[in-house]
Amino acid sequence: MFFFTETPLSRRYPPGKLPEQRPGPAGGARARNRQQRTAALCDAALPLFLSRGLETTTVDAITQGAGVAKGSFYRYFEDKEQLVATLFAPFAEALDAALDGCAEAIEAAEGPAALFGAYEALAGDLAAAFTLNPEVVRLYLQEHRGPDEGARRPIRTLASRVREGAISLTEAAHARALLRPLPPAVTALAVVGAVEAILAAALEGELAFDPPSVIQSLVDMMLKGVAAD
């Protein structure tokens, strides 16, 4: 029954940097240790990124937080950018899966009911991805419009995928006459922006409503604003 006790794959951080000649056997001491150290560094970095900002957080602060020596950081990561990429990898993977799944479901859908079902499934998948590690989502919301430089690059890449995915799904809905005759890009970006703003406020504890009722209101509002009659 070991597979029940394993962390779900999508929560696991991938390795950042691998040794050339002797990475060690899978499941061996080195692999286990690598996983543990990688996770310790990422988990120590995340709250620091949130409280001080991505660029102003130092490698020293991260290693101190993780309780390891500075040299260890550079054994497991090339630099801060690679750590950030690692930190976002599980979320990025879940997001891609959700977007791809929705695109396929739309492709296969026959009637409007199946189409709405595809979007509903997407919303559910996204909610699950957010719940996986909400702090990572907070970091995304905090940094995703900053300059595409250095450690922020992986976040900007993710932001591009979000925008492009939203636009392409909106175009699919538009092509099936599910939406009012507005430019799909405008519709998509407005919806993404609205969701992100609500999400940011909710994650900061600035919304005095329980999540289900907020989601209900948001979906209601967006359908009215965006969907064809």
Residues that bind a second copy (CB under 8 A): 50-53, 55-56, 141-143, 145-147, 149-150, 152, 163, 180, 182-183, 185-187, 189-198, 200-201, 206-209, 213-214, 217-218, 220-226
Half-sphere exposure of 157 (CA within 13 A, CB side): 15
What is the closest distance, in whole angstroms, from the C-beta atom of residue 183 to DNA in the complex?
42
Sequence-distant (≥ 6) Cβ neighbours of residue 195 within 8 angstroms:
218
Binds 72: which of a second copy, DNA, none (CB < 5-8 Å by kind): DNA
Enumerate the β-bridge partners of residue 179. 227
Binds 182: which of a second copy, DNA, none (CB < 5-8 Å by kind): a second copy
Half-sphere exposure of 22 (CA within 13 A, CB side): 3
Taking a C-beta distance cutoff of 8 angstroms, is the pair 39, 56 a contact? no
What is the closest distance, in whole angstroms, from the C-beta atom of residue 50 to DNA in the complex?
16
User: Left if phi > 0, otherwise alpha if psi is -120 to 50, otherwise beta: which for 177?
Assistant: left
Site string for DNA, 7-46 (x = CB under 7 A): ------------xxxxxxx--xxxx-xx--x---------
Q: Which is nearer to a second copy, 123 or 226 (CB)?
A: 226
Q: Which is nearer to DNA, 20 or 107 (CB)?
A: 20
- 59 binds DNA, rule: CB under 7 A: yes
Taking a C-beta distance cutoff of 8 angstroms, is the pair 170, 179 a contact? yes
Residues between 67 and 96 with contacts to DNA, criterion CB under 7 A: 68-72, 74-76, 79-80
**Maximum Cα–Cα distance for the chain, whole Å?**
62
Q: Which is nearer to a second copy, 68 or 207 (CB)?
A: 207
Binds 24: which of a second copy, DNA, none (CB < 5-8 Å by kind): DNA
User: What is the full DSSP assignment across 27-62?
Assistant: TSHHHHHHHHHHHHHHHHHHHHHHHH-TTT--HHHH
Query: How far, in Å, CA of 67 to CA of 150, rounded?
Result: 25
Q: Which of 7, 58, 131, 160 binds DNA (CB under 7 A)?
A: 58
Give the footprint of DNA on this chain (CB under 7 A). 19-25, 28-31, 33-34, 37, 58-60, 68-72, 74-76, 79-80
